[in-house]
């Protein structure tokens, strides 16, 4: 496989009002500088895709807002690590979050 994605932390408990940072690490076994990636953060349940963007593996992306499905959420990319920040989480933000990365051709 040319692409390996890992997430940290595996499980996290926080207090309402805290800011949460979820991390996704991407490892490539191909020409990293030229690789185009599609990164999605998903949450189980009705929300589906919270944040989606296209990235070039070797080029950082400063924190940028996610769409309306995740108000206040921001995604940053500092190769090989992406961070999804969720400010002032509430009880209804609980669930499983998944970082899905696709190597585009």
> Residue 85, exposed/middle/buried by CB under 10 A (0-12, 13-18, 19+)?
middle
pLDDT: is 87 or 1 the higher one? 87
CATH of 3-103 given 2.60.40.10, 3.30.360.10, 2.40.110.10, 1.10.8.420: 2.60.40.10
Query: Does 1 score more than 70 pLDDT?
Result: no
Domain ranges of the chain: 3-103
Q: Provide the pLDDT for residue 60.
A: 92
pTM: 0.85
Give the pLDDT mean for 67-78.
84
pLDDT of residue 24: 95
Alpha-carbon distance of 98 to 56, in angstroms, equals 20
pLDDT per residue as tens digits for the range 18-70? 999 999 999 987 665 578 899 999 988 666 788 889 988 888 988 999 876 67
Say what the pLDDT of residue 44 is: 82
């Amino acid at each position: 496989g040319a692409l390996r994605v890992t997430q940290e932390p595996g499980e996290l408990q926080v207090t309402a009002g805290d800011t949460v940072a979820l991390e996704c690490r991407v490892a490539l076994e191909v020409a990293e500088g030229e690789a185009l990636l599609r990164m999605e953060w998903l949450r189980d349940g009705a929300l589906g895709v919270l944040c989606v963007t296209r990235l070039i593996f070797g080029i950082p992306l400063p924190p940028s807002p996610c769409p309306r499905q995740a108000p206040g959420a921001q995604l940053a990319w500092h190769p090989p690590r992406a961070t999804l920040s969720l400010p002032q989480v509430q009880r209804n933000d609980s669930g499983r979050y998944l970082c899905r990365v696709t190597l585009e051709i």
